[in-house]
Chain A
Amino acid sequence: MRFRDVAVTLYLTSAIVFIFVPVAILVQYSFQDGLVPVPPFRGFSLRWWVSMLANRRLMEALGNSVVVGAASSFVAVLLGFLAAYGLARARPRHAGRLQFGLMAPLTVPYIIIALGLLNTFGAIGVGRSLVTVGIGHAVINLPLCFAIVYSQLGAHQANIERAAHDLGASDLQALLLITVPMLWPALLAAFFIAFTLSWDEFVIAFLLSRFDVTLPVVIWNMLNARLDPTLNAVGTLVFAISIGLVIVVALLLFRWGRRHG
């Protein structure tokens, strides 16, 4: 075997062992009958799924996660689009520095962002709630949304907007009839990626929330209490939704790539 084959085999094996096997085990245990999630497989059962659906706290948290994810992603996409559009079209004097400033939060650890927001909210007298969690998620997702949209605002897109103006469109008409629809796949992709990140996010959600919490925080609390196989069902659900969103993004980008490639 040549070195390349060895390297490829090693890489694939590790990917499977460290990424897919844990997920597969989790999914399997969510359908396993019995209180202790240990091998061997003891027979198929939906009791943990039923237990999850019956758990009001879990279901509330699921709803909270969806609301926080959707709202914070919407805000991040909106602000990211406006920043990208302004930077690409108005070309302000210090565009490079502004771009750096917008991207900089990407390099800050979530826990530091959470602490900073916690102090700020404390200082201005805003209590911890789902709103503060949403603001935190908008903060961490803004750079990503900005970068995705900015990358799609090149010279060709500028010419397309110029053509709209040339044919009589006002600034608002060009924005609403041409720019936004033209960027629709990028905006949707940014939204779903932001949603996925918010959906999985724990540190900020934990530190900035109080009574109402998101799903990862409830999972954390349950983990601390006792070993409950219901968590396997919750984990499987969280994973399934994340994967579903990733597939949506991949399809969007694939279709788009074909149209523009």
Chain B
Amino acid sequence: MAEPIVRLDGICKRYDGAAAVERLDLDIAAGEFLVLLGPSGSGKTTILSMIGGFALPTEGRVLIAGEDVTELPPAKRPTATVFQDYALFPHLSVRSNVGFGLAMRRVPKPERHRRAEAMLKLVGLEGFGDRSVHQLSGGQQQRVALARAIAVEPKVLLLDEPLGALDLALRRQMQEELVRIQKRLGTTFVHVTHDQEEAMSIADRVVVMNKGRVEDVGPPSRVYLRPASLFTASFMGESNILPGEVVEATANAAWIKTAAGILTVPATAKVGETVTLSIRPEQLQIGRSEGGIALGNGRIRETSFQGTHMRARAVLPASGADVLLRAPVSANLAVGDMVELSVRPADIAVLER
């Protein structure tokens, strides 16, 4: 990685002895869209607060653009925050809200108005400058909060669950717009959310957090398909978790005995070791597949229609193992059907934890 724009150097945060964030090292690249993902209480917002200057790390340092900003207040940092409740100034017009940061930087009024208008245009609120913030819908307020933060041209934009209060359709639309605006400005975005679908659709890189610790870091596809930990595997979506024991191993393959039979995976392991495997439901193939490991016939026990696909549970009669499938609606599964199941070795993830 080139010189990172943000470097978290061994930061941790404890409140009255309880750790909100355990020792963390993380580099964020310039222009990256990073998402901190985790359930509530996982420490993701605390990390954001420490980058923004709203919380002082108990230990460690925060560097932005090579400069140690650990002790600097928010006003002196090249960061800007989009708050969860938007925190718009209720007594100011939309234009004055967006121009506030520029006013604090003593930008003259005409220039300030011009730039505020440009920001409003960028977020799709052209011509809204004279309105009061109370006249705006939740989605529009969200856009004003975004425009207000990017108007000061921060090196790093911090977003604290900004889409949490919006309905699903609007949330999807805002996700696309955030990515569009981020690519256009080239600003580094650090976005906090507990919604794994949101994280996957917007992030260049996802940091999965749990109980103040980093569970996994990587591009969304890798984190989803080959999760590093059991927590990541289940938090990122539904998964078939299979504990097993290594019964045979070569330099680059291992044979693992599980409830679903013996599975070959391309991994290095020692015989006798116990491991946990994760297989996403959509990676269980119905019918024989090229190079796939046959799991035998499964009996469909339960189905539910999900719109884009069919979700089904099947029992493998040979072992009694219960697995979750995702089949195309056209497969027309019904309870009681017997289906042949297989999985490609490359689709099986071996969890490290």
Contact B75 A260 (CB under 8 A): no
- Give the residues in chain B near A260, CB-CB below 8 Å: 90, 134
For A174, give the chain B residue with the smallest CB separation: B75
Q: How many angstroms from the CA of A259 to the CA of B92 in the assembled complex?
A: 12
Proximity string of chain A (162-184) to chain B, C-beta cutoff 8 Å, 1 when within and 0 when not: 11111111100100001001101
Q: Which of B79, B87, B132 contacts A163 (CB 8 A)?
A: B87
Contact B75 A169 (CB under 8 A): yes
Q: How many angstroms from the CA of A159 to the CA of B82 in the assembled complex?
A: 10
Binds A, one of B99-107, B181-189, B218-226, B333-341: B99-107
B305 contacts partner chain A, Cβ-Cβ < 8 Å: no
* Given A168-B105, A173-B104, A260-B90, A159-B80 contact (CB < 8 Å): no
Contact A178 B89 (CB under 8 A): yes
For A261, give the chain B residue with the smallest CB separation: B134
B74 contacts partner chain A, Cβ-Cβ < 8 Å: yes
Q: Which of A163, A166, A181 contacts B91 (CB 8 A)?
A: A181
- Give the residues in chain A near B112, CB-CB below 8 Å: none
Contact A162 B83 (CB under 8 A): yes
- Give the residues in chain B near A222, CB-CB below 8 Å: none
A16 contacts partner chain B, Cβ-Cβ < 8 Å: no
Q: Which of A159, A165, A168 contacts B85 (CB 8 A)?
A: A159
A91 contacts partner chain B, Cβ-Cβ < 8 Å: no
* Given A156-B85, A173-B104, A259-B134, A165-B90 contact (CB < 8 Å): no
- Per the 8 Å Cβ criterion, residues 90-143 of B in contact with A are 90-91, 100-101, 104-105, 132, 134
B88 contacts partner chain A, Cβ-Cβ < 8 Å: yes
- Give the residues in chain A near B83, CB-CB below 8 Å: 159, 162-163
Q: How many angstroms from the CA of A159 to the CA of B87 in the assembled complex?
A: 6
- Per the 8 Å Cβ criterion, residues 209-261 of A in contact with B are 259-260
B81 contacts partner chain A, Cβ-Cβ < 8 Å: yes
From B74, B88, B132, name the one whose CB has the most chain A CB atoms within 10 angstroms. Answer: B74
Q: Which of A159, A160, A168 contacts B101 (CB 8 A)?
A: A168
Q: How large is the interface on B (under 10, 10 to 19, 20 to 34, 35 or more residues)?
A: 20 to 34
For A184, give the chain B residue with the smallest CB separation: B91
Taking the closest CB of chain A, its distance from the CB of B263, in whole angstroms, is 50
- Give the residues in chain A near B272, CB-CB below 8 Å: none
Q: How many angstroms from the CA of A178 to the CA of B134 in the assembled complex?
A: 16
Would you call the interface of chain A mostly helix, strand, loop, or mixed? helix
Contact B90 A160 (CB under 8 A): yes
- Give the residues in chain A near B236, CB-CB below 8 Å: none
Q: How many angstroms from the CA of A163 to the CA of B149 in the assembled complex?
A: 9
Q: How many angstroms from the CA of A167 to the CA of B104 in the assembled complex?
A: 7
Contact B100 A259 (CB under 8 A): no
B287 contacts partner chain A, Cβ-Cβ < 8 Å: no
Contact B104 A160 (CB under 8 A): no
B164 contacts partner chain A, Cβ-Cβ < 8 Å: no
- Per the 8 Å Cβ criterion, residues 15-72 of A in contact with B are none
* Given A159-B83, A162-B54, A167-B104, A182-B90 contact (CB < 8 Å): yes
Q: How many angstroms from the CA of A164 to the CA of B52 in the assembled complex?
A: 13
Contact B52 A167 (CB under 8 A): no
- Give the residues in chain A near B80, CB-CB below 8 Å: 166-167
Contact A170 B75 (CB under 8 A): yes
- Give the residues in chain A near B10, CB-CB below 8 Å: none
For B52, give the chain A residue with the smallest CB separation: A166
- Give the residues in chain A near B81, CB-CB below 8 Å: 162-163, 166
- Give the residues in chain B near A167, CB-CB below 8 Å: 75, 80, 100-101, 104, 148-149, 152
Contact B152 A160 (CB under 8 A): no
B41 contacts partner chain A, Cβ-Cβ < 8 Å: no
Contact A182 B87 (CB under 8 A): no
Q: How many angstroms from the CA of A156 to the CA of B75 in the assembled complex?
A: 19
Chain A residues proximal to chain B, CB less than 8 Å? 156, 159-160, 162-170, 173, 178, 181-182, 184, 259-260
- A sample of 17 cross-chain residue pairs with beta-carbon separation below 8 angstroms, ordered by A number, consists of A156-B87, A159-B85, A160-B90, A162-B54, A162-B74, A165-B73, A166-B54, A166-B79, A166-B80, A166-B149, A167-B80, A167-B152, A168-B75, A169-B75, A173-B104, A259-B90, A259-B134
4 extra interchain contacts, Cβ-Cβ under 8 A, other than A163-B87, A169-B100?
Answer: A159-B83, A159-B87, A162-B74, A166-B52
